[in-house]
């Protein structure tokens, strides 16, 4: 008995000192990893004109995984669920930023037709192209007003029109904007009627949006079925685990069971990926 206590005490002391020795290195690695993440998040938020101090970003990035892990452990009393939710908390800021970028691009696309019509009307009234951009920025709401205000600022700083428009196109990454920018630059090069070209581009974008809406309406049932089939195995597994916590012991303790479990997880991931891939229709 005394020998076992001495061994346990020695192991505990060894782990304690090993943790003390490794903690500065682990803290340094985690700090670098978090700083690298925040260096990516900061510019993306700035492009959306969302001003969040670096200290707040670091606080949010630290708290979210802790909160999700704590809630998972309190609700399920399982360290496995807590670790899974902690991992989800780590990627949550990235998912939120992606969602904000997507919603901003959707809103920009919906505003683009009206914006092009304002530019066309301004050109018909005798204004120059930068003055037409200024009229658009004054009359429209964000995000399109913010983006064209930034284009005007770049023009005032001496940036060429081509570069400013290419910067706008790279920031938004919207196919309809690519079409409009290309048309404007081609019209300036060839000397075509920019007002007529913008009117044609507006009509093309309007028809494209109408066709996209029709395709989305016709495929909503298939996409909903794909979503349900993707989520159903996960919900079923959680339900069975809550009903009988030892139901999956054979999958964890037995070698063949672990192989089947890994196969099931890989199949579920591949199924979700292919369902999402096949449900995307480009027009």
CATH of the domain at 121: 1.20.81.30
Choose the final residue of a domain: 178, 197, 212: 212
Contact 118, 134 (CB under 8 A): no
More confident: 12 or 74: 74
- For residues 158 and 187, membership in a common domain is answered with yes
Q: Is residue 19 over pLDDT 50?
A: no
DSSP 167: H
Same domain, 194 and 234: no
Indicate the pLDDT class of residue 167, thresholds 50, 70 and 90: very high
Most confident option among 27-31, 108-112, 279-283: 108-112
Using the Cα atoms of residue 85, residue 91, residue 94 and residue 98 in order, give the sign of their dihedral: negative
Q: Of residues 191 and 37, which shows the higher confidence score?
A: 191
Length of the chain: 283
Whether 157 maps to a domain, the answer reads yes
Q: Is residue 54 part of a domain?
A: no
**H helices present in the chain, as ranges:** 2-47, 54-76, 79-124, 129-139, 144-156, 161-172, 175-190, 194-243, 249-253, 255-278
Residues 180 and 230 occupy one common structural domain: no
Least-confidence region, from 139-148, 203-212, 248-257 = 248-257
**Mean pLDDT to the nearest integer, 42-56:** 76
User: Residue 280: pLDDT band by 50, 70, 90 thresholds?
Assistant: low
Structure confidence at residue 30 as a pLDDT band (50, 70, 90) = low
Residue 70 inside a domain? The answer is: no
Handedness of CA 251, 254, 260, 266 (dihedral sign): positive
67-81, 82-96, 182-196: range with lowest mean pLDDT: 67-81
Last residue of a domain, one of 212, 245, 262: 212
Whether residues 163 and 228 share a domain: the answer is no
Please state the pTM of the whole predicted model.
Answer: 0.70
- Same domain as 196, residue 273: no
Domain boundary among 174, 194, 212: 212
The parent domain of residue 247 ranges over: 218-278
């Amino acid at each position: 008995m005394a020998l076992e206590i001495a061994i346990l005490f020695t192991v505990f002391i060894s782990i304690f000192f090993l943790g003390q020795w490794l903690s500065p290195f682990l803290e340094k690695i985690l700090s670098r990893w978090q700083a690298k993440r925040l260096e990516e998040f900061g510019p993306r938020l700035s492009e959306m004109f969302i001003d969040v101090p670096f200290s707040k970003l670091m606080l949010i990035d630290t708290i979210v995984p802790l909160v999700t892990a704590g809630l998972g452990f309190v609700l399920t009393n399982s360290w496995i669920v807590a670790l899974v939710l902690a991992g989800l908390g780590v990627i949550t800021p990235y998912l939120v930023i992606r969602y904000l970028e997507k919603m901003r691009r959707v809103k920009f696309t919906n505003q683009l037709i009206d914006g092009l019509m304002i530019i066309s009307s301004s050109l018909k009234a005798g204004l120059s192209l930068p003055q037409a951009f200024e009229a658009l920025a004054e009359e429209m709401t964000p995000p399109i007003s913010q983006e064209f205000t930034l284009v005007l600022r770049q023009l005032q700083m001496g940036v060429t029109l081509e570069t400013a428009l290419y910067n706008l196109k790279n920031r938004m990454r919207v196919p309809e904007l690519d079409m409009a920018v290309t048309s404007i630059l081609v019209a300036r090069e060839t000397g075509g009627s920019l007002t007529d070209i913008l009117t044609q581009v507006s009509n093309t974008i309007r028809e494209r949006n109408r066709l996209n809406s029709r395709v989305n309406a016709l495929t909503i049932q298939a996409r909903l079925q794909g979503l349900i089939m993707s989520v159903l195995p996960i919900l079923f597994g959680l339900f069975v685990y809550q009903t009988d916590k030892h139901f999956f012991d054979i999958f964890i303790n037995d070698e063949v069971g672990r192989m089947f479990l890994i196969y099931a997880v890989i199949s579920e991931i591949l199924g979700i990926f292919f369902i999402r891939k096949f449900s995307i229709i480009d027009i």
